[in-house]
Amino acid sequence: MNKLTKDCLLTINGGSSSIKYALYEIKDTLDQLLSGEMEGIGSGKAKLSFIHLKSRIKHHVDIPVADHTAAGRWLSNWLEKETEFIRVKAIGHRIVQGMEHTAPEKITDRLLKELKAISPYDPEHLPAEIKLIEVFRKHYPDIHQVACFDTSFHASMPDIAKLIPIPIKYRDKGIKRYGFHGLSYSYLIEEFKRTEGAEKAKGKIIIAHLGSGASLVAVKNGKSVDTSMGFTPASGLTMSTRTGDLDPGVAWYLQKFEKLTPGQFNHLVNHESGLIGISETTANMQRLLQIQHQDKRAAKAIDFFCYQCIKWIGAFTAVLGGLDTLIFSGGIGEHAPEIRERICRGLQFFGIELDEKKNTNNDKVLSTDASKVLVKVIKTNEELMIARSVCTTLNYNIKHK
């Protein structure tokens, strides 16, 4: 159906307080023309950073938006000023929680109604994402819009890995382990297969997507078999402001004796915990690394993060029955050599050996030739994965670069 030789598609990646977007030209391949990110939505200090790929010059604009509806309207008006926007024929939206949806889908009234019904399963992301869909559908009713679900990649997990051990009357309502960061993992597996070949991509792989949101996945034969995030993106590995896994007794104690409401508790575990909760100074890993020798709390936050990563990788190696490849990605995984070195140092008994110079230089391959496990850094690209998913859903024939 590749008659839309030079049409464009737009990707929208909505977070709880941010929106990333990218514009691609659809030719034989997907050529990115521009990208941007709105940050601080709802804070009163929202900003837009954007770049045109030809000029490579990054620009920053203060924006007066109070919520995602206003942000969506502002963004659509802003994008209409771009000369390429008139050629947009499709919009792809990242949807964090898709529950039983295992593939991207065209957005219809029925799908939107369903997403609203499951919003309680992900109150941190889904309501904002739905607002963005509604804004862009209202502004552009004739443009195809596609929902790309973060949970789809983990649909292949065995039932035992999805199980949450509570009474069946609650499990029947959809309470189980879903897993997230699926668009990132899908892209990383495709990229690993492209660079290392199909045979290695069938091996036993652990991917560490380490950023402000952080998770790990165990992959075998190209499929997710287990992942650290579960029912919500607040679970699993500790993150910048999220707790990660938490003893449920803590929730009971805080609500009963510290009088936290459910809403206050949800805010605590998503926005006041993790690295910021331990350090009490910053949630930014690069900043923590800079001050760790003068601030014991910063050092403890780093120690805890690395300790948790080592535990999860050890557990997933047991699930896989061995480990062939360890892939680092995300902001921390791609740009923090010290974190990678400390994690891998704790896994030397697996036969992991890092090349110090390659690691310091953020090379694509970090392991030595003698290492029993291949260690790589792959830069993730959720926007490109959304764009590819839109093309697949709408039957646009493209080649992957």
pLDDT in tens, 321-338: 999 999 999 999 999 999
DSSP string, 170-214: HHTTT-S-----HHHHHHHHHHHHHHH-HHHHTSEEEEEEESSSE
Which has the closest alpha carbon to 102: 179, 145, 154, 177?
Answer: 154
pLDDT in tens, 61-84: 999 888 999 999 999 999 999 888
Domains of the chain listed by start with CATH number: 8-149 (3.30.420.40), 198-377 (3.30.420.40)
Query: So what's the pLDDT on residue 401?
Result: 67
State the catalytic residue, choosing from 31, 109, 142, 150.
150
For the beta carbon of residue 45, count every other beta carbon within 10 angstroms: 10
pLDDT in tens, 148-202: 999 999 999 999 999 999 999 999 999 999 999 999 999 999 999 999 999 999 9
pTM of structure:
0.94
Which has the closest alpha carbon to 150: 217, 69, 221, 238?
Answer: 217
> Alpha helix locations (H) across 21-139?
68-79, 109-117, 126-139
Question: What percent of the chain clears pLDDT 70, i.e. is strictly above it?
Answer: 99
* Residue 301 to residue 306: CA distance in whole angstroms: 9
Which has the closest alpha carbon to 232: 249, 255, 260, 213?
Answer: 213
* Residue 191 to residue 237: CA distance in whole angstroms: 24
* Residue 172 Cα to chain centre, angstroms: 27
Q: Which residues of 276-309 are buried (b: 16+ CB within 10 A; e: fewer)?
A: bbbbeebbbbeebbeebeebeebbebbebbbebb
150 is an active site residue: yes
Q: Which residue ranges of the chain lie beneath pLDDT 50?
A: 1-5
Strand 223-227 and strand 19-26: the pairing is unpaired
* Residue 372 to residue 387: CA distance in whole angstroms: 35
| Whether 98 contacts 150, CB under 8 Å | yes
